[in-house]
Amino acid sequence: MDPKIDALVPSWLTLPDVAEELGVEVTRVRQLVKEGQLIAVRRGENRVLQVPALFLAEGKVVKGLTGTLTLLKDDGFTDEEMLEWLFTPDESLPGTPAQALRENRGTEVKRRAQALAV
């Protein structure tokens, strides 16, 4: 795990924690990760798969996250690069793209993600 990303992402959830938050089985969470609707990275001594806590709100995956991840993936971003982009503060937003998505400002985040492809 990249120490830079570890420093950027304020808190993490294990897959069982994500499953509990979403009210689904862990296998469903693994499927969401596999489908690219969530990003999970191996962290800590045990290399446990974890998801940034900011990706969830009110028992759901944050609105606009999946579409943003798809755009970034289409731009050729790796999971680590996507996390770095989502959690790096952007003065013009303000805040980070991940915070903007949580605050229902997904249109602006997606516009920026599309602009990266140009």
pLDDT score at 118 = 64
Give the separation between CA 8 and CA 16, rounded to whole angstroms: 23
Q: Which residue type does 23 have?
A: G
Binning pLDDT at 50, 70 and 90, where does residue 2 land?
confident
Give the separation between CA 61 and CA 71, rounded to whole angstroms: 17
Measured CA distances, 69 to 15, 47, 104 (Å):
18, 23, 16
Task: Kindly tell me if the per-residue pLDDT of 117 is higher than 90.
Answer: no
Tell me the pLDDT tens digit for each residue of 36-94.
999 999 998 899 999 999 999 999 999 999 999 999 999 999 999 999 999 999 988 98
Give the separation between CA 72 and CA 114, rounded to whole angstroms: 8
Mean pLDDT for the chain overall: 93
